[in-house]
Amino acid sequence: MTDQTPALRLEGIVKTFPGVRALDDVSFAVMPGEVHALMGENGAGKSTLMKVLGGIHQPDEGRIFIDEEATVMTSPIQAKARGVVFIHQELSLADELSVAENIFLGELPRKTLGRVDWAALYARTDDILGKLNVGFNARTRVGELSIANQQMVEIARALTVDPRAVIFDEPTASLTDAEKVVLFDVIADLKARGVGIVYISHRMEEIFKITDRISVLRDGQYRGTLNTSETDEDEVTQLMIGRSLDLSRNHAHAELGEVAIEVRGLSCGKVYRDISFSVRRGEVVGFYGLVGAGRTEIAETIFGLRDPDAGAIYLDGKEVRIASPIDAIRHGISLVPEDRKGQGLVLGMNCRDNMTLPQVDDMTSSVFVSERAELSIFDHYKDKLDIRTPGWRQTVGNLSGGNQQKIVIGKWLSMNPKLLIVDEPTRGIDVGSKAEIHNLIRDLATQGYAVIVISSEMPEVLHLADRVVAMHQGRIVREFTAEEVTEDSLIQAISGIGGNGAAQADVTAQDAGCSRPH
Amino acid sequence: MNKETLIKQGGIWVFILVELAFFSIAGEFLSVTDVAFMDYGNMLLLLKQSAPIGIIALGMTIVMINGNIDLSVGATFALAAIVLLDSMTWPFMQALGDWAIPLAWLFALLTGTVLGAINGLIVWKTGVDAFIVTLGAMLGYRGLVFMYNGEQPTSHLNWTLVDFAEAQFLGLHTATWFLLGAALVLWLVMTRTVHGRNAYAIGNNREAAVNAGIRVGPHFLWNFMLIGFLAALSAVVFYSESGSVNPNDGMLYELWAITAVVLGGTKLTGGYGSIISTLGGVIAIQLLRKGLGHIGADTETVNLVIGLILIAVLFLDRQLNRRGKEELKT
Ligand SMILES: Nc1ncnc2c1ncn2[C@@H]1O[C@H](COP(=O)(O)OP(=O)(O)OP(=O)(O)O)[C@@H](O)[C@H]1O
Ligand SMILES: [Mg+2]
């Protein structure tokens, strides 16, 4: 590839934020037709580097070349005009607009007098959506889509122009396996057309499946580039975190205690039906299924965010009614929600205040909040979860994606819950911290907590759970013990017995029969 | 305090300094009087005159941080004033002599608090947007004001009260003390108490707040009661001295209060703002009015200039903030 000129090249990029040197003299190049992985821990500077490239941030120093031509990127619009398309880690869609309007936002096709050419708009959009093989159409309102499908809309945006380079910042974080396959096809197609692709992800399997080269950042510094075919996970991890990880750590399974929660015959409109299961103290139960299978909604019901139509919930053998999160918290239930930005964090608040939000009430000395108690909680979980932030005063919105997730996890762990429900707990979290969080979850179980893990990542479920509940279209299809579960049997179960895995069930809050009252 | 908040919260005070410098210098050439603009007495008076809108603006700050707005404060202000003055003419009150004063205050403050509670309850229980609810309340409460005495002013002058209102303690007028006192209390409430913390959280991300087990409704209610109380307090402070209220008094106060709050950097969308900066916003507006008067501008010009400056300042603020955190994907 040395005889070619790079599709894009960054040279000596430096970018500082107050208190953080996010990028320190980083150079990086992508060849045409190459899929180039960018890896690094949470907060290493991956997103920042790409935002510099995409015209969102201006670098303090350094230069950008497109086809070896020096360019100054002043805005995302200009970057797109120069052929650099950016698919963001965090969704940035207008909920009230249609899919088509979102995809062509800022460049709606026009007729005379500035009128929108709706026919052309919908035709072009359906064309793009056809390539992506999705279960919604151009006129669907974006707010009605699941997160996974919203992610597909973001991806569709990149296909409206003829790009030189496309940046994917953790695109698969909320995609199902079926959707990932579609995404990888799209990437292969772009690659064949000679487009340079930057692919950011924390998932090793993907990286080794689709990328040609891997560049690693660590603490804002460039650490080197490896050819994917000549390296392995261990070497990449070494480069990323400076040590290797023993991922195969065999967890001591805890002594099982009493049944902490039992759910009998829970139903909620068309979202899920007739759900019965139980979790004992010291046990981790994994819920696995396609996005839309109803797992999140069950969690929301247990946490008091939804009212079920039928069924009952028993805690410690006693039937309880959980009408609101307040009830749930009082009963010692914690939920780490799947959408950290929308449901988990108060982005404009600082790190400490976010972490202690559910319990400031209990930390008042006289009328005032006890800041010392809050700080000690924050410091404890900052160390325990290795949260990278210049200090507790930092606004959470300024943290890297993975560190934001750690704040949410810290928040709910600090409540010392009896039952901890985690929905996609390691979405967007780097390998080191992921292992850390997994250990933490297992430790909690050992200490006698009951844990429910909802995950779309099969390795995570297999690794963590003592028991796996497989769901398909709102029903529990099978339960496996850790001994009997295998990848194949699980895939078979969640795709409907004998069915094909392409069930595009997209149950949304809108068409759901049972409401989310809060 | 980090650099970012310093830029955001320091801005209004820099603006005040600029105003002071400008009017002092311009005053040398254009002033209609001989008194220097920065005259000590003049400044004290300025603080006193800031108090009525200022006290309301403090309440508006917490309501807006919480993600709501209250358009009914002007009408609440007028109704509380009527209750204050009229109640002192009631026979049993007159029999009490000067003891009627604290009672009249109590009635007025209670009126404001109850009106605020009505707003808060409606917003909480119906889930209708605060803008709509308080727009209705603005018309409704003003209707009550007119029902009370028709187009006639309501008057009652109590000299003990006037003496109290005109008193100066450590140089500052009674009204100024009320403004500063209210600011101190609310600052503590917003920065140090659970209620304040939760109000910010709700304004910033309501869903996350609900998920954290925070009851949104009661916080709304408290804040509306607080702003109702403060609107009444503002009336108490002002009408103790003037002794006469017209049914149109307090009109547009809600907009002046919002102007001061926004000038102080509080976000219209909620979740961000500070009591102290609102105090700055209040003083900045009063300085503008007084300063422009000082150099001979008439009221119409003053309003025009304030309007333009508001837009200019917010634009500047936006530019500054964008520099601070560019990641806003606008
Ligand atoms: N707007 C900002 N203001 C202040 N600090 C910022 C800002 N954006 C990013 N940072 C900081 O810069 C560093 C790099 O962040 P970045 O988002 O690039 O990390 P990342 O490698 O993408 O991590 P992740 O894998 O968690 O997404 C972090 O320490 C982050 O807190
Ligand atoms: Mg990132």
Give the residue with greater pLDDT, B73 vs A400. B73
Instruction: Name the residue of A20, A200, A341, A389 to mutate for ligand 1: max ligand atoms within 8 A of Cβ.
Output: A20
Residue A432 Cβ inside 6 Å of ligand 1? The answer reads: no
Give the chain B residue whose CA is nearest to the CA of A354. B201
Tell me the pLDDT tens digit for each residue of A313-342.
Answer: 999 989 999 999 999 999 999 999 988 888
CATH number of A8-241: 3.40.50.300
- To which residue do tokens 């007084």 refer? B290
H-assigned helices in A117-232: 118-132, 147-158, 177-192, 204-210
pLDDT for A252 equals: 59
On the question of pLDDT at B326 being above 60, the answer is: no
Determine the distance in angstroms separating the CA of A109 from the nearest CA of chain B, rounded to an integer. 21
Position B5 confidence tier, pLDDT thresholds 50, 70, 90 = low
Phi, psi values for residue A49, rounded to 5°:
-60, -45
B8 pLDDT tier (thresholds 50, 70, 90): low
Confidence grade of residue A367 (pLDDT, cut at 50, 70, 90): confident
A393/B2 Cβ within 8 A: yes
For residue B1, pLDDT over 60 is answered with: no
pLDDT value at residue A107:
76
| B197/A360 CB distance under 8 A | yes
Choose among A18, A56, A335: nearest Cβ to B327: A56
B211: nearest CA in chain A? A325
Q: Which of the four pLDDT bands, split at 50, 70 and 90, describes residue A97?
A: confident
- How high is the pLDDT of residue A412? 92
A408-435: string of b/e by CB count within 10 Å (b at 16+)?
A: bbbbbbbbebbbbbbbbbbbbbbbbbbb
| 3 state DSSP class of B244 | strand
B64 against A152, higher pLDDT: B64
pLDDT at B329 over 50: no
Does B208 sit within 8 Å of A343, measured CB to CB?
yes
Mean pLDDT within B48-53: 94
Confidence of residue A507 (pLDDT cuts 50, 70, 90): very low
| Domain architecture of chain B: domains with CATH | 43-314 (1.10.3470)
Of B205, B289, B235, the C-alpha closest to B37 is: B289
Task: Give the mean model confidence (pLDDT) for residues B288-308.
Answer: 85
pLDDT given at position A510 = 41
Mean pLDDT value across residues A180-191: 86
- Taking contacts as CB-CB distances below 8 angstroms, the residues of chain B near A365 are none
As assigned by CATH, the class of the A256-332+418-518 domain is alpha beta
Residue B141 clears pLDDT 80, i.e. is over it: yes
Query: Which among B327, B329, B330 is the best mutation to test ligand 1's pocket, defined by most ligand atoms within 8 Å of the CB?
Result: B327
Q: Is the pLDDT of residue B138 over 90?
A: yes
pLDDT, residue A513, reads 54
* Whether residue A405 has its Cβ less than 6 Å from ligand 1: no
Nearest CA to ligand 1 atom 18: A45
For the record, the structure tokens of A273 come out as 């039906």
Residue A500 has pLDDT above 70, yes or no: no
Q: B184-212, pLDDT tens digit by residue?
A: 999 999 998 999 999 999 999 998 898 88
Averaged pLDDT score across all residues of chain A: 85
Examine domains A8-241 and A256-332+418-518 and report if their fold is the same: yes
The more confidently predicted of residues B67 and A115 is B67
pLDDT of residue A352: 93
> What are the tokens at A151?
């992610």
State in Å: Cα B208 to ligand 2 middle. Answer: 21
> What pLDDT score does B27 carry?
80
- C-beta separation of B201 from A352 below 8 A: no
B207:A57 CB<8 A: no
Kindly give, in sequence order, each residue whose CB lies less than 8 Å from that of residue B124, ignoring residues fewer than 6 positions away.
B216, B217, B218, B220, B221
Q: Can you tell me whether residue B273 is helix, strand or coil?
A: coil
A343 near B208, Cβ under 8 Å?
yes
pLDDT at A497: 55
Chain B residues with CB under 8 Å of a chain A CB are 2-4, 188, 192-194, 197-198, 200-201, 204-205, 207-215, 271-272, 325-327, 329
Q: For chain A, which residues make up each domain, given as ranges?
A: 8-241, 256-332+418-518, 339-416
- Average pLDDT of chain B is 88
Cα A485 to Cα A483: distance, rounded to the nearest angstrom: 6
Residues of A in contact with B205 (CB under 8 A): 342, 345-348
Collapse the DSSP code of A249 into the 3-class scheme (helix H, G, I; strand E, B; otherwise coil) and give the result: coil
Identify which of A186-195, A498-507, B112-121 has the greatest average pLDDT.
B112-121
- pTM to 2 decimal places: 0.80
For residues A429 and A441, what is the distance between their CA atoms, to the nearest angstrom?
15
pLDDT in tens, A453-488: 999 888 888 888 999 999 988 889 889 988 888 888
Helical pair A147-158 and A177-192, crossing angle rounded to 10 deg = 10
pLDDT band at A255, cuts 50/70/90?
Answer: confident
Q: Is A214 helix (H, G, I), strand (E, B) or coil?
A: strand
Distance A283 CA to ligand 2 centre (A): 32
- Judge whether residue A253 has pLDDT over 70: no
Question: Nearest CA to CA, how far is A371 from chain B (Å)?
Answer: 9
Confidence class for position A515, pLDDT limits 50, 70, 90: low
User: What per-residue confidence (pLDDT) applies to B253?
Assistant: 94
CA of B2 vs chain A CAs: smallest distance (Å):
8
- The set of residues, in sequence order, having a beta carbon less than 8 Å from that of B278 and lying 6+ positions away, is B57, B58, B60, B61, B260, B261, B264, B266
Question: Contact B213/A51, CB-based, under 8 Å?
Answer: no
> Band of the pLDDT at B4, cuts 50, 70, 90?
low
Q: Which of A13, A17, A241 to mutate to test the pocket of ligand 1 (most atoms within 8 A of CB)?
A: A17
Ligand 1 mean position to B4 CA, how many Å? 16
pLDDT at A2 over 70: no
State which of A164-178, A467-481, B126-140 shows the largest mean pLDDT. Answer: B126-140
pLDDT at A276: 93
Task: Give the confidence band of B154 by pLDDT, cuts at 50, 70, 90.
Answer: confident
Q: Is the pLDDT of residue A147 over 80?
A: no
**Would you say residue B182 has pLDDT above 90?**
yes
For residue A380, pLDDT beyond 80:
yes
- pLDDT at residue B89 greater than cutoff 60: yes
Q: Among all ligands shown, which has an atom nearest to the Cα of A405?
A: 1
